[in-house]
Amino acid sequence: MVFISSRYAMDKVESKARDYIAERADLLGAIRLPQTAFLKNAGTEVVTDVMFFRKRLDGEAPAGASWQNLKEVQTEEGPVNINEYFADHPRWSSERILSPAPCIKKKSTRFFRWRGISKTTSQKR
């Protein structure tokens, strides 16, 4: 099976959806596309994950890569929690953190990129 989703399927703190899928299938691998992958054809900047799964047979033990949890990684802007699969396999993600993402700046929020993902942190004033 192949799932195409925003990065939130793998990076969301709440793991209900990941747990549900992991009960039924094993992650074979995933690729994180850059934030600008759909800019030209859809006019949007969104980090997209392409995830490859193998449905488990009845009674078959779980296998495959670890991907249900988040892991903290250090960036130039400080620590960021991302899916453990991309923390352990950074070559399957497209960009490194460079600066606050210019495409989406809000008054109360800062967005950072680390290998193609955005992190939201509240600014204290």
Residue 120, amino acid: T
* Cα–Cα distance for residue pair 53/64, rounded to 1 Å: 9
The amino acid that residue 24 corresponds to is R
Beta-bridge partner residues of 74: 79
What's the whole-model pTM score? 0.72
Report whether pLDDT(74) > 90: no
Supply the pLDDT for residue 97.
37
Output the six-digit token pair for 110. Answer: 């800062």
Phi, psi of 39 (to 5 degrees): -65, -45
Give the mean model confidence (pLDDT) for residues 63-90. Answer: 91
| DSSP state letter for 61 | P
Nearest to 95 by CA among 61, 53, 103, 58: 103
What's the pLDDT score for residue 93? 84
Token pair, residue 8, equals 């939130």
Report pLDDT for 95.
55
Distance CA 26, CA 64 (A): 5
